[in-house]
Every structure is written in C-alpha cells, then in structure tokens.
Structure 1
Amino acid sequence: MRGEASCDGFPEVPLGSLLTQKPKNGYSPKDVPDWTGLQALGLGCLSATGLAPVQLKNVPDTALARRSLLTDGDLLMSRANTRELVGLVGRFTYAGHPCIYPDLMMRLRPDEARCLSSYLEIVLRSNRVRRDVRAGARGTSDSMVKIGAPLVEGLEIPLPRIEEQRQIVTVHVAFERRITALERMLDKLRVAEEALTVSALAPMDEDTWDCVPLETVATVAAGVTLGSEPVGDGTVELPYLRVANVLDGRIDTADVKTVRILRSQYERFALRKGDLLLTEGGDLDKLGRGAVWDGRIAECLHQNHVFRVRCGERMVPEFLALYTSSAAGRAYFQRVGKQTTNLASINSTQVKHMPIPVPPLDEQEHVLGPIRAVRHRSAALGRQIAKLRIVQQGVIEDLLAGRVRVPEVASAEAA
C-alpha cells in the first residue's frame, strides 16, 4: 500500500510524488551537419547499464529545442521500444555543452531533498520495476510498445532515508568500479587478439602460402528453409540457429528456436562440432560474420540464411574463421555482396569461390596457439564479469527490499 512500509522495512511511494515536475517527452528536430552549440542524444544512448553519450548529433539551437535541455542528474527513460527494452533508464551527466533528448524518451527530475537521482536510477533499473514497466507497456506487438507518464508516475518506489540511499549508491558504485576494471582488461585482450591475428596472417601478404577457392578445402551448405513444415510420422522437431544466434566470433544460444523437419533430412541440415557458421545477409560491413560451432547442443540445425562451412583435412576450422573475419576476408564479402536499400547479402557460390590461404596444418596450429590463449583468458574474464553482474543485481535487490543493510553487506565482503 502506498506510503506504508514494504514487507522488510522501507516505505513505498508512487514515483510521481518524488518528482519536481511531471515526466516530459523530448524533442527530435532534424540534425544539421555543422556545430550549432546544441546537441541531441539518440535513443541508442540508453542501454541496460545506463546512459552513454553516443549517437550525438548537431541540431538547430532554437527556443523550442531548449525546452528539452538536460541538467546534471536528470533521468531519461525510453518510452517506446521493444517490450524487452522499453523503460530503460539512465542518468545524464553534463558533458560541457548544452544537450537535449529525443521524443522517444521522457525526462524525470527527482526532488533531491527526498530522493537522490543516483538512487532512483538504481531503483528504476531493478528487476521488479522493470517487470512493472514491461507489464504496463501497450502495443500491438512486442516489437514496438509504448509507456506513458501515468504508468511511470504510478510506479511504486522504496524510499529509505537519504543516508541509506547514499549507502546503497555507494555499494552499487563499488560493483561498477570492479566491473569496469575487468571490462578494461577485456578490451586490452581484444586489442591483443587483433594484433595477433594480423601477425598470424602476415605470410599471406608475402605470398608464402597457397591460396585456393574455399570449395577446394571445405564444403558449403545452406540450412533449412522456414515456412511450410512437414507433419506426421517421420518428422522431428529440433533446435536451429538463425542469423540472430551467429555473432562476430561467437555463437549465442540464449534464445534458440525450433523447427520441424523430415528425419531423413537431418544430415543435410545438421551441425557438427567444428562447423564454421557464416551469415548470409545484414549490413554490408557485417556480411559473412561468423564463428565455429562448439557442439553445445547435441542435435542442432541451421537456417537457410546461415551458411555451414565444413572443413576438410587441409583446413583447421579456427584458422578459416580467423581469415574470414580478418580485414582481407571482410573486404572480399563487401566486394562481392549484393547491396539493396536496407540490406546486403552474399550467396553460396560467392562463399565457395572465396580465395583462402592454406598454410600447412602444423603452421595453422602454430599461429593459432597464442590466439587461443588470449581467447581463453577473454572467455574467463567474460564469465567473471557476468557472475559479478548477477551478484551485484542480487545484492542491490536485497538492499532495495530492506532485507539487508549496507553494514551487513560490508561485513560479508570483508569475511
């Protein structure tokens, strides 16, 4: 109930009662090429981890635009997006020049005497509030939903004393500092991997290795076409990888869909550990992105928009992936790719004809050694960051619910 203590202590109040003004939508003027003294944020500035000053654009400096000026500590919330991303929140920090926010965001200005903006940002990114926002969003499909000021103003916010708010923020910041330090280490490892890759492929520029069409050292196959699925006896429903699962350098299986095929077609579309997966279409600079399949799903297929490249005896899959993702490999895909208004694509013939360097197998393994070591370290750091994020989320949720207090958290960390 509003104004009463939650089950473990903190009173809860509607967000609207903590704001100095009603939530206000932004303004989206047309951008201009030259600096005007005023810039606008883009919707991409907001992410699950807050607000970053990216996608800034120059806009006309008018009285209408300046109604959407941001001040240090303003909170911004996306009011239109997918159901998963709507309601993302970030806190604006003054960047040294005037800045406005777009129409697809709303601005929240808390009364700092009652609720710190840094604390409110944490609350609005908590699991419970995110669930309430997603549940209250309205739209004809999950691909685009909207939220309005009444929903936002009615969100129930736990309200500890200002000093306790500061303590919760301190804990949150401590986690963020540790995570940021690990992310910087990860960035350095990625730079090291790029340098090792350039060094590994250097003999290719010196014509030291043979260069042959890909189809002479590997087989290329398209996957299952979605649409009319067979039914009845002799069919089987299996997971499959689509373009969204095949990222640059890794396979994401967090969201894998299934498709029904004839059991007799299984070998035609099945993946094996060591298969290189390459995407057929997308932005021109992302054509042919891919990664080597590690076999984490026992029986798995691939969609027709994902090429399966299965290496023969002369080629190590990781070396082939190293080349296809290199500057030379990307340049080939961009050169042969077919560009349309919104997308670019490559076909299986172009993949088969791709010129590939083929050093001896022992040399392939030799150049891959240092790269594998860096990737192993990067993967370990990635797991450490992900684990720390989970711990951070759990600690913050407990603090917001009043189940633990900051001194208890400090004691537990010390132990």
Structure 2
Amino acid sequence: MRDEALMMHRTSWPAGWHRVTLADAGTWLSGGTPSTSNDAYWDGDIPWISAASLKRFRVIDSDRRVTALGAENGSRLVGAGTVLFVVRGMSLKSEFRIGVTQRTVAFGQDCKAVLPAEGIDPYFLAHAIQTKTPEILAMVEETSHGTGRLDTNRLQELEIGVPPLSVQRRIVAGLEVIERRIIALERARAKSSVVEEALSTSALESGHGKWPIQRLESVATVAAGVTLGSEPTGDGVIELPYLRVANVLDGRIDTAEVKTVRILRSQYDRYALRPGDLLLTEGGDLDKLGRGAVWDGRLDPCLHQNHVFRVRCSEALTPHFLELYTSSWTGRAYFQSVGKQTTNLASINSTQVKNMPVPVPPREEQERLLAPVRAIREQIAALSRQIEKLKAVQRGMAEDLLAGRVTPQTAGRTSQQRSASPSVITRTQDE
C-alpha cells in the first residue's frame, strides 16, 4: 500500500521529459580532508570546499586551500561544472547547501559531488536537486555529535524530470536573470555593510579617552535564562517560546525556527524578554563569543535560554549603543581575553559579562552617534528584504519550470519583468 501511495503522488512531467533518479543523473564522488598536520598539503592555490564554505550557488573559492599534493593525499579534485552539496554539518538543521563549481576545486567528506551524466546540464541538475529541499531536509538524521547527516542511498532514490538539453538551458537562462539581480543586490548590501562598519568604528573612536568607563553591571542588569532539561508539569505551568543560541546572530535575531519550553508561571518575570533587551551568546567559537543583537519584541511573550545572556540597560545607556560596543573590535577582544577555551568551544560566564568595561558617554551623545549607523542599517535591511523577495520569486519559478508546469520564454528580460509579467512563462498544454 505504501508503494502504491507513493506512486500516486509521483510527479507527472510533460511529454519528452524523462524520469531520472539522482543515482542515474551522474557519477557520485566523495571527498576528504588532507592531514592538517602536514604543511605541504595546505595553503596552496586549490580551493578546498567544506560544509562551512559552501555558501553560494556558484562555487568559486574558499577560505581554505590545498596544494596539488594535498589534493592527491586525502581529498579529491573535481573540475568546473560539478554539482556539490552538503551531506553532513550543522547547516543541515535549517538549510540544504548546493552549488556548481566554476573552476577546479577539492572538497571535504562533508560534501558529495555529482558529475552530470551526458545530456544533463550541471546548472539544471543543481536547480532540480535544490527544488527537492523540503524532502531532503526531512531526510536529515542527527549524529551523536549533534550535526545533521544525509544518507546517500536515500538521496539517490529521489527523482527529477529531465527535458531535452535545449529546454534545460532555456530554464537555466531564465533563472539566471533573477540570480544576476540577486547578486547585484548582495554586492550593494556588502558595500553598505562596509560603510556601516566604518561608521560604527568612527562613532566609538570619536570619544576615545574622554568618555567615562564603567563596569557593565553598574549601568545594566545581566541575567541568564531558563535551563532546559527538567520542565515542570501540573498546575501553574505555562508553555512559551524561547530564544536559544541559534536564534541570536551577529547583529540580528532569527525567529524562523523558535522552540517552546514549560516554566512555572511564577518564573515568568525572571526569564521574560522586553523590547530593548540586548541578547549576548554565552558560547561558541572563540571569535564569536558575546555575539548578539537587541530584541525588538516581535514575539510576545518570549523567554531566553540559559546560554543566552539578557542585558537590560539603565537610563544611562541605550542598548543599541551597547550593542555597537560589544560587537566592536574592542568588545570582541574583551570576550576573547576572558573566554574559557575547551576542545571544541569557548564560553563566558555572567560574572565576566558584568565586569566588562564599557564607555558611557552622555545619553544625548549616544543617540547622536547612533543616527548615521541606524540610517545605514535601515538601508541594509531594505536591501535584505529585496533579496529575500527575489529569492522567493526565483524559488517559485524554479519549482514551476522544473516540474514542467510552465515553459520558459525569452530569458533576456529583467528580474522585475519576470516577477510581474505573466507573459514570461506560459502554461503547458496538458494543464
């Protein structure tokens, strides 16, 4: 019965399209990591792609590189036009990363590579696999280390529809129009981020040596959140959303996935968040200690986990100015200097956060210095919204095109025309 149900829900593609499993869509390859203790294997000119560095659809470079000797001893080389995707890593908890190589690269064991079969365009294959993201993420298993893992055999059973090569390339060309617009907006956002960093640095340096320095606990209260593990039951218990380390990013709060926890109603005030609370993370990589952002109250009520510090400022200090300082080079240097380093993670405690020396200029001066920073941040946020909107348009187009529900027309129009004009795509005859 299960097989019959699956057959009923299999996608039907137009005439001339072939049903192909991912196993038959190309040659699958595994990567590896050369010995990190051998200097002859690293710092060469060949990008080494890992789960952490595979972040863009067009795979060009990586922050880690290997030599030809390193690629031969423990890794694997693939040329341009190879489809790469992540099969193990923390990112699989929330996203499926995939891309197409633009040059020869090596790759690690956290990724798989597929050399497309004859008659299959690599970009078409990557887009086709990407549209399977919900199914793929549903396959993710958690390892003993807490990372996500994809079973290759299950992945290879997934099916895609493959039209003639000429149709594949028209589909890819249509999607690339929007992709180019997204890339242009991302570049504009990156430039604005550089301006934001310069404005933030200038704001803090303008008062260097003349502002009074105080311990954080004298101008704010610092509190840890609710501890997970033994949740109460019975009368007087409430279940509420809470923010964990994964929700608190550098400069923003991500509420795409928020979990809930049960606490006693009497504990609510102790763990509750208010708009204006600065949230700082307790642990992570050493260079990310104390990352955080100001809570805007978008969820109410909402709590915070014990691994996230809640900093509630007094009238002497605006939370956004404090955020500016904690994310600055000086603020990060403090957290790194007091952080406790273990094998895999670093951490700070509430006492260290309370003892953090912070500049406290007059409140009016804080607001004046923050004004240009807020303006550029609003510009960055607007660009981010445009990017997300275009990505949603691109995802919708990809799903329709790659399922054969629509056929591509001229691919040279602008992304705005594609998202607004129904003449860009036409319905297939069998619909």
TM-score, length of structure 1 as denominator length: 0.87
Contact 1:36–1:61, Cα closer than 8 Å, also in 2: no
> Which residue of 1 is the match for residue 194 of structure 2?
191
2:121 pairs with one of 104, 108, 116: 116
Contact 1:80–1:147, Cα closer than 8 Å, also in 2: no
Distance 1:226 1:199, change over 3 A: same
> Which residue of 2 is the match for residue 277 of structure 1?
279
> Which residue of 2 is the match for residue 348 of structure 1?
350
1:14 pairs with one of 17, 20, 44: 20
Give the C-alpha shift of residue 134 in structure 1. 4.4
Give the match's secondary structure for 1:43. coil
Give the C-alpha shift of residue 93 in structure 1. 1.9
The farther-off stretch of 162-171 and 135-144 is: 135-144
User: Does residue 253 of structure 2 align to residue 247 of structure 1?
Assistant: no
Give the match's secondary structure for 2:406. coil
Q: Deviations over 1:209-232 (max 9, x none)?
A: 111111121111111122222221
User: Does residue 405 of structure 2 align to residue 403 of structure 1?
Assistant: yes
Contact 1:91–1:117, Cα closer than 8 Å, also in 2: yes
> Which residue of 2 is the match for residue 180 of structure 1?
183
Contact 1:278–1:289, Cα closer than 8 Å, also in 2: yes
Segments of 5+ residues of structure 1 without an aligned counterpart are: none
Any residues of structure 2 matched to 1:380-399 within 5 Å, and which? Answer: 380-399=382-401
Contact 1:15–1:152, Cα closer than 8 Å, also in 2: no
Q: Distance in 1 between matches of 2:139 and 2:220?
A: 51
Q: Distance in 2 between matches of 1:344 and 1:110?
A: 42
Supply the AA of the counterpart residue of 1:210: P
Distance 1:298 1:106, change over 3 A: closer
Supply the AA of the counterpart residue of 2:114: L
Q: Distance in 1 between matches of 2:114 and 2:327?
A: 43
Q: Distance in 2 between matches of 1:55 and 1:406?
A: 37
> Which residue of 1 is the match for residue 62 of structure 2?
54
Q: Deviations over 1:35-83 (max 9, x none)?
A: 6776643333434745342143325638965994312212224344465
Give the C-alpha shift of residue 362 in structure 1. 1.0
User: Does residue 111 of structure 2 align to residue 105 of structure 1?
Assistant: yes
Q: Distance in 2 between matches of 1:291 and 1:39?
A: 33
Q: Distance in 2 between matches of 1:137 and 1:362?
A: 51
Supply the AA of the counterpart residue of 1:318: H
> Which residue of 2 is the match for residue 24 of structure 1?
29
Give the match's secondary structure for 2:39. coil
Contact 1:33–1:58, Cα closer than 8 Å, also in 2: no
Supply the AA of the counterpart residue of 1:199: S
Supply the AA of the counterpart residue of 2:149: V
Q: Distance in 2 between matches of 1:87 and 1:10?
A: 29
Any residues of structure 2 matched to 1:314-393 within 5 Å, and which? Answer: 314-393=316-395
Q: Deviations over 1:25-44 (max 9, x none)?
A: 23443243246776643333
Give the match's secondary structure for 1:381. helix
Distance 1:311 1:281, change over 3 A: same
Give the C-alpha shift of residue 19 in structure 1. 4.7
Distance 1:181 1:145, change over 3 A: same
Alignment RMSD: 2.9
Any residues of structure 2 matched to 1:220-239 within 5 Å, and which? Answer: 220-239=222-241
Q: Distance in 2 between matches of 1:78 and 1:356?
A: 41
Q: Distance in 2 between matches of 1:292 and 1:373?
A: 16
Q: Deviations over 1:187-210 (max 9, x none)?
A: 1111111111111111332x2211
Q: Distance in 2 between matches of 1:349 and 1:227?
A: 24
Distance 1:13 1:280, change over 3 A: same
Give the C-alpha shift of residue 374 in structure 1. 0.6
Q: Deviations over 1:128-176 (max 9, x none)?
A: x33444455667678443323x545543221222221111111111111
Identity within the alignment, %? 48
User: Does residue 55 of structure 2 align to residue 44 of structure 1?
Assistant: no
Supply the AA of the counterpart residue of 2:12: S
Q: Distance in 2 between matches of 1:341 and 1:63?
A: 27
Distance 1:65 1:339, change over 3 A: closer
1:309 pairs with one of 296, 308, 311: 311
Q: Distance in 1 between matches of 2:93 and 2:313?
A: 38
> How many aligned positions are there?
404
Distance 1:194 1:123, change over 3 A: same
Distance 1:68 1:272, change over 3 A: closer
Contact 1:46–1:89, Cα closer than 8 Å, also in 2: yes
Distance 1:397 1:346, change over 3 A: same
Q: Distance in 2 between matches of 1:63 and 1:199?
A: 44
Contact 2:290–2:326, Cα closer than 8 Å, also in 1: yes
Distance 1:87 1:188, change over 3 A: closer
The farther-off stretch of 386-395 and 69-78 is: 69-78
Q: Deviations over 1:386-405 (max 9, x none)?
A: 11100000011111122222
Q: Distance in 2 between matches of 1:139 and 1:267?
A: 34
> Which residue of 2 is the match for residue 71 of structure 1?
79
Give the match's secondary structure for 1:309. strand
> Which residue of 2 is the match for residue 89 of structure 1?
98
Distance 1:402 1:266, change over 3 A: same
Contact 1:246–1:291, Cα closer than 8 Å, also in 2: yes
> Which residue of 1 is the match for residue 428 of structure 2?
none
Q: Distance in 2 between matches of 1:62 and 1:250?
A: 38
Contact 1:38–1:100, Cα closer than 8 Å, also in 2: yes
